């Protein structure tokens, strides 16, 4: 098939569109359990089951009498040291937008909570890398914001490819 200029333009527009669709993800940390030190939530496991991208939002839902959220450096994260955080959130329903690639470290600043497991390492990766892991690993998780967005991203692309082939069919 000849390389059609219109098709290239079409794909670029669709790429931007699909990217926009995939960027709206909002994740409540710990899902229904929220941000807690007593619910036996494995936050590393929770984080590992998601694909975080730039523009996604985290929601920390917790009782502000007993918990808070401190964004910290990697060193402070590993030491559970909340004395000089990058940012502090105390509302009980805090939204944090992941504005760049890389790690975001959060711990609870209340004594003993981080040590008890109330800590999370969020790795924000680039959108293209989300397409490389096999879909089967994603679909083993319960339907959540992550898998539904992954789904819509794929549907978006499938539609784009189908439309492109239809259009090229008309052109020749």
72 vs 120, beta carbon nearer ligand NAG: 72
Please report, as residue ranges, which positions from 20 to 79 form the binding site for ligand NAG (by CB under 6 A): 79
Binding mask 36-75 for Cu ion (x = CB under 5 A): -x-----------------------------x--------
What does the block give as tokens for 70? 């401190």
3-state secondary structure the chain: CCCCHHHHHHHHHHHHHHHHHHCCCEEECCHHHCCCCCCCCCHHHHHHCCCEECCCEEEEECCCCCCCEEEECHHHHHHCCCCCCCEEECCCEEEEECCCCEEEEEECCCCCCCCCCCEEEEEEECHHHHHCCCHHHHHCCCCCHHHHHHHHHHHHHHHHHHHHHHHHHHHC
By beta-carbon proximity to ligand NAG, the closer residue of 57 and 81 is: 81
Q: Mask 75-94, x = binds ligand NAG (CB under 6 A)? A: ----x-x-xx----------
Q: Shortest approach of ligand NAG to residue 81 CB, angstroms? A: 4
- Asked if 110 touches Cu ion (CB under 5 A), the answer is yes
Distance CA 124, CA 104 (A): 8
# of chain residues touching ligand NAG (CB under 6 A):
4
Which partner, Cu ion, ligand NAG, none, binds residue 110 by CB below 5 to 8 Å per kind? Cu ion
Residue 81, binding choice from Cu ion, ligand NAG, none, Cβ under 5 to 8 Å by partner class: ligand NAG
Which of residues 18 and 114 has its CB atom nearest to ligand NAG in the complex? 114
CA–CA gap between residue 162 and residue 135 (Å, rounded): 20
Min separation Cβ 76 and ligand NAG, Å: 6
Write out the residues near ligand NAG by the rule CB under 6 A.
79, 81, 83-84
């Amino acid at each position: 098939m000849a390389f059609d200029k219109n098709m290239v333009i079409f794909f670029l527009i669709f790429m931007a569109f699909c990217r926009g669709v995939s960027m709206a993800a909002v994740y409540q940390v710990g899902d229904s359990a929220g941000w807690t030190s007593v619910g036996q939530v494995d936050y590393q496991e929770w984080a590992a089951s998601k694909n975080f991208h730039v523009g996604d939002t985290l929601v920390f839902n917790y009782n502000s009498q007993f918990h808070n959220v401190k964004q910290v450096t990697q060193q402070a994260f590993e030491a559970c040291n909340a004395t000089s955080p990058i940012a502090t959130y105390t509302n009980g329903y805090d939204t944090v937008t992941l504005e760049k690639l890389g790690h975001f470290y959060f711990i609870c600043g209340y004594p003993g909570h981080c040590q008890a497991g109330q800590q999370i390492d969020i790795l924000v990766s680039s959108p293209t890398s989300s397409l490389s892991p096999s879909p089967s690993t994603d679909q083993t998780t319960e339907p959540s914001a992550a898998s539904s967005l992954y789904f819509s991203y794929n549907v978006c692309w499938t539609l784009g490819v189908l439309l492109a082939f239809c259009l090229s069919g008309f052109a020749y």
